[in-house]
Structure 1
Amino acid sequence: MVRVDGRTLRCDDVLAVARTEGPSRIEVEAGALAAAGRAWELAEELSTRRVVYGRTTGVGANKDDTVTGEHSTDHGLRLLRSHAGGSGELMPDGQVRAMMLIRLNQLLAGRSGIGPSLIEALANALRAGALPVVHRLGAIGTGDLAPLAETGLALAGERPWRRGGVAPVAVQAGDALAFMSSNAATLAEATLAALELDTLTKASHAVTALTYVALDGNPEAYATPVHEARPHAGQVACAADIRRLLGMEGTPAPGRRIQDPFGLRAFPQVQGPALDALHHLREVLAIEVNAGTENPMICVPEGDAYHHAHFHTAYVSSALDQARATVHQVAELSAARLGDLVEPDFTGLRPFLADGPAGSSGVMILEYVAHDALTELRQAALPVTLGSAIVSRGLEDHASFSTQAARATTAACRSYRQLLACELVAAVRALRMRRADLVDIPVRAAFEQAGAVLDPSTQDRPLTEDIARAATILDTLASI
C-alpha cells in the first residue's frame, strides 16, 4: 500500500507503482484531500476579486486576455483540448502510472487550487489500473503540458483510455491549468531511470570485483589508508564495498602487478563521482515529487495566489546531466577492463579467452558490442542544459529540457547495462577457465549466480544469449 499525502512520497514508491500492472494499491490521506479542497475554495473566491493567471486569463502569451462571461464556463476544457497535442510514440505503461502517482501526490500538497473531484478521479484511475492514452512528445522541461492535458481530457471523458477507465468528471474553469502545471511525466521517467542507474552502479561493484579476481588485481588501490587520505564520500564508499566483496581484511596478499591498469586501480576515484551524482539526483527527485509546483500557487495560510516559475526544472536537468556524465566515465572503465580480460599478459590465458583450435576467436566480439554500447552512452551523456528555446511569442524565453535529459538517462541505462553484461560474460569465462577458487568471500555469490545462467561452453559460438542473460542477472548482483 502506497500512502499518498503530498509530503512523503518516495522514489521507491514511484517504482513500485510503475511496476504494478493493473490496479495500484494507494491510500489517499483524508487530511491532504481536505486541505486541497480548502485551496480550491480559496482559488474560486480569489477569481471573483483579482486576476488569477489561467483562471481568469489565457495562458502563455495570452496572459493579458481576460476570460469573462459565458466564455469562462468552458475555459478549462478549451485549455485542455488545445494543449492535448502530444505526438510520437505512446508513453510506456510504467511511466504513465508513475506520472499519475506523482501528479496525484503533488495535487495533494494543497497548493494547486484544483477541484477535489478531479483529484479523486485521478486516484480512482490508479486504483482501477486505468491508463490514459499519453504520447511521449510535447514538453521541454517547463511543464508537461501535452501529456497532462491528454490525461485530464481522459478523466473528463473526452479522450479514450488505453486500458480500463473511470467515470467522467466535470472540469471547472480553474482546473485545467492547475492540472497541467507540473512536470510529473518528466519526473516519472527521471525517477525510474535514476533508480535503474542506482542498481547498475551497485551491480558494477560485483562485476568489477569478479574482473579483479580474474586479473589477480593489486589490493593496495582499495586500501583504507589510501582513501582516508582523500575522503570523497562516493570514493570512500566504493573502495569499502570492493574490500567487502573481496573479503579484504587486515593486510591482503599482494597482486601480480605493482600497479594495475586504470580500469581496476582508478575504479573508486571514477565510480565515486557517479555515486555522489546519483545520490544528489535522488535528493532532487525526492523534493520534486512532493513539491507544489503549480503556477499560480494558491496559498491558504496567506489567503492569496502567487505567480512564480516553479514549472522550470533546472535542478532536475542539471542533476540528470551530471549523473549521465559521471556514469559515462565509469562505463569507459568497464570497456577498459574487458580489454584487459582478453589480453594474455593479464590473464595467463589464450587471447580473447579462446578455447579451441588455433585461430579460435573466443569472446572477441564482446569488445565490439561493448564499444558500440559505449558510443551510444557517450551520445546520451551529452548535456541537454546547453540548449534553450524561446516560445509563446517570446514570453517564455528559456527552457531546462529536463524532459530530454530524462529520456537521455533512460537511453544511458540501456547502454550501460549492455556494457556491464559484456564485462560480466568475459569475467565469468576467465574465472571458469582459470578454475579460480574464490574461497568464502562475498563476490563468490556473484560468480555462482552469474554462472548459473551463463552457458559454460567455451567453444566458439554466438554470445547473444549470454549477453542477454548477463544483462538480466545484473539486478540480482546489485544486492550482493
Structure 2
Amino acid sequence: MIVIDGLTLDLADVAAVADGEDVILAPEAVVRMDESRKSAEATALQRPVYGRSTGVGANRGVSLMEADGGDTHGLKLLRSHAVDAGKPLDRRTVRAMLVVRLSQLAAGGSGINPAIADALAELINADVVPEVREFGGIGTADLQALAGTALTMLGERPPLGGDEVPVSLAGWATADALPFISSSALTIGQAVLSQQKLSTLLDNAASVAALSFIAMSGNSEALSPAVAAVADTSAVADAAHALHAMVEGSGQPARIQDPYCLRTLPQVFGSQTEELAALGALLSRLVTAGNENPLVHGSPSDGSNDVAHHGLFQMTNLARRVDALQLAIGAACATHLRRIDLLCDPKYTGLHPFLAEDGSGQSGLMMLEYVAAAAVGRIRANAQPVSLQTVVLSLGAEEDASFASVATARLESTADALATVAAVELVCASRALRLQGRQPEEFASSRLRSMMRAGFTLPSDVGDRDLRGDLEQAIELMRASL
C-alpha cells in the first residue's frame, strides 16, 4: 500500500502502483485539498478565475458567471476535451498517470473537491483503467487523457478491457473540471516508468561492457583511479571506479591502448548515468508538484486566499531533460556496435570469426550484429531533439508547446531498443568468455560474477542455429535486477 500525501512520492513507488500496488490518501492530504477548495471558492467571488469563472483557451475572456442553465459547463468541458486518437496505451502506463495525478492533487494547489481525489484512489485500487490513446497531448498538459479519465469515472466512457467502474460520480462541478485535467500526469508517468527501466538497463549494460572488456583482454589503465581522479565530471569518475572494480585482476592486457569502445567506457556510461540522474531529480519534483493553472494559494481565514495564473504546465524542462538523455544514449550506441563487432573478430578474442563453432564458413553470431544495428537505428532516430518543435493553437492564444509527451513516448521506445542492443552484446561476450574457458569464480567483483553467471545461463551450443530464443532470454536478463 502506497501512501499518497502530496509531499513525497518515490519514483519506485510510481512504478509499484503501475504494477498493481494499491494506494491510500493520507488524512493530511485530504485536509490540504479541502483548504485549497475553500480558498478557490472565496477567490472566485473576488476576481475572475480561469476555468472556474471563465472559459478556457481562446474563450478565456468569456464569463461563466453570466451563463444560464445551471452548473453544466464542467461536464461540457470534460466531454469536449476528451478526444484522442491512435493506439490505446497499456494498463501500466495509464496506472502511472493516475497515481501521479493523485499525488499532484494531494499537494493542494488545484482547489479541487477532495471527493474527486477519493474517487480517483478508488479507481486505482479497483484496477479499472481508462482507455487512453497515444495522440492528444503536446507537452502543455495531458488534457485529453485526464478528461477521458473523468468520463470513465462518470460512467460515460467504458474503461480499457470493459471493466466495471467501481464508482460512478453523479456529476462533475465546473469548479472541479479544469483543476482535474490541468496536469501533465500522463507525460510524467511515462517518463518515470522509462527512467526506472533505464536505471536497471544502464547498470546491466555497464556490466556487460565489462564482460566484453575481459573477453578482449582490455587494458584497465583507462579505468584506473589515476584516470578517475582527473575525470571532467563526478559521474565519469564514478563510472571509471565501478568498471575498474569489475575488470580488476582479469589478466594481462593485449594492447598498450585499446579501441575507443573499450578505452572510453567511463565517459560513455558516465554521461548516460549523469543525464539519467538529472531526469530522475526533475521527475521526483514533478510527481508531487501541484502546479495546476491557476495555482490556488493562501487561506480565506486570514484573507490571503488568491490564485496565480501561470505557465508551469509547459513541460519545457522535462522535454529538454529527456532530449539530453536520448542524446547520451544515442551517442553511446556507436561503442556498443563496435564492441559487438570486435567480439566477433579473431584478432581481439583469439576465437573463430563470429564466435562460430569452427572456421569452416559458419555464420555463428553474425546476424546478431544486424539486429543490434537495427535497434541502434531506432535509438538514433529517437534522439533527434523534440524540444525544438513548437506549434500555435487555439486561435493564437497558445503560441508554443514543449512536445514533452512525444519525447517521453520516444524514451520508452529507446529503452526497449537499448535492451536489445545490450542483449546482443551479452550473447556475444558470454559466448566468447565460455569458449575462452573463463569462469565467474575468477573475479573478485560480485557484480561481474552475477552478470557472467546470468550470461552463462544462455544456451551453450555454438553450432549454427536459430538464435531468437537466446536473444529473447538475454533481453529479459537485461531488464532484470541482477
Greater shift, 382-391 or 152-161, is seen at 152-161
Q: For the residues of structure 2 that align with 1:201 and 1:309, how far apart are their CA atoms?
A: 34
Residue 385 of structure 1: how far off its partner (Å): 0.7
Equivalent residue for 1:201?
202
Q: Is the 8 A contact 2:100 2:185 kept in 1?
A: yes
Letter in 1 for 2:477: I
Greater shift, 31-40 or 434-443, is seen at 434-443
**TM-score, with normalisation over the residues of structure 2?**
0.95
Equivalent residue for 2:360?
358
Instruction: Give the secondary structure class of the aligned counterpart of 1:374.
Output: helix
1:3 aligns with 2:8: no
Greater shift, 146-155 or 253-262, is seen at 253-262
Equivalent residue for 1:99?
97
Equivalent residue for 1:441?
444
Q: For the residues of structure 2 that align with 1:280 and 1:289, how far apart are their CA atoms?
A: 15
Alignment of 1:177-216 (within 5 A): 177-216=178-217
Residue 299 of structure 1: how far off its partner (Å): 0.5
Residue 154 of structure 1: how far off its partner (Å): 1.2
Letter in 1 for 2:166: V
Q: Where does structure 1 differ by over 3 angstroms across 4 or more consecutive aligned residues? A: none
**TM-score, with normalisation over the residues of structure 1?**
0.96
Equivalent residue for 1:45?
42
Instruction: Give the secondary structure class of the aligned counterpart of 2:310.
Output: coil
Alignment deviations for residues 152-198 of structure 1 (CA, whole Å, 9 cap, x no partner): 11112221122331222221111111001000000011110111111
Residue 59 of structure 1: how far off its partner (Å): 0.3
Q: Is the 8 A contact 1:219 1:254 kept in 2?
A: no
Residue 72 of structure 1: how far off its partner (Å): 5.2
Letter in 2 for 1:184: A
Equivalent residue for 1:311?
313
Q: CA RMSD in A?
A: 1.4
Structure 2 segments unaligned to the other structure (5+ residues): none
Q: For the residues of structure 1 that align with 2:316 and 2:112, how far apart are their CA atoms?
A: 25
Greater shift, 435-444 or 461-470, is seen at 435-444
Letter in 1 for 2:311: A
Q: Is the 8 A contact 2:353 2:359 kept in 1?
A: no
Q: For the residues of structure 1 that align with 2:102 and 2:277, how far apart are their CA atoms?
A: 25
Q: For the residues of structure 2 that align with 1:118 and 1:27, how far apart are their CA atoms?
A: 14
Equivalent residue for 1:154?
152
Q: For the residues of structure 2 that align with 1:101 and 1:386, how far apart are their CA atoms?
A: 29
Residue 441 of structure 1: how far off its partner (Å): 2.6
Equivalent residue for 2:411?
409
Instruction: Give the secondary structure class of the aligned counterpart of 1:131.
Output: coil
Q: For the residues of structure 1 that align with 2:116 and 2:410, how far apart are their CA atoms?
A: 32
Q: For the residues of structure 2 that align with 1:288 and 1:440, how far apart are their CA atoms?
A: 42
Q: For the residues of structure 2 that align with 1:347 and 1:133, how far apart are their CA atoms?
A: 51
Equivalent residue for 2:477?
473
Alignment deviations for residues 251-271 of structure 1 (CA, whole Å, 9 cap, x no partner): x85411001111111010121
Q: Is the 8 A contact 1:115 1:172 kept in 2?
A: no
Instruction: Give the secondary structure class of the aligned counterpart of 1:174.
Output: helix
1:232 aligns with 2:233: yes
1:239–1:357 Cα change, 3 Å: closer
Q: For the residues of structure 2 that align with 1:219 and 1:197, how far apart are their CA atoms?
A: 26
Structure 1 segments unaligned to the other structure (5+ residues): none
Q: For the residues of structure 2 that align with 1:172 and 1:345, how far apart are their CA atoms?
A: 72
1:35 aligns with 2:60: no
Alignment of 1:370-381 (within 5 A): 370-381=372-383
Alignment of 1:314-329 (within 5 A): 314-329=316-331
Q: For the residues of structure 1 that align with 2:329 and 2:200, how far apart are their CA atoms?
A: 12
Q: Is the 8 A contact 2:419 2:479 kept in 1?
A: no
Letter in 2 for 1:467: L
Alignment size in residue pairs: 471
Instruction: Give the secondary structure class of the aligned counterpart of 1:88.
Output: strand
Q: For the residues of structure 1 that align with 2:159 and 2:284, how far apart are their CA atoms?
A: 29
Residue 71 of structure 1: how far off its partner (Å): 4.3
Alignment deviations for residues 356-404 of structure 1 (CA, whole Å, 9 cap, x no partner): 4611111110111111111111001111011101001111101111000
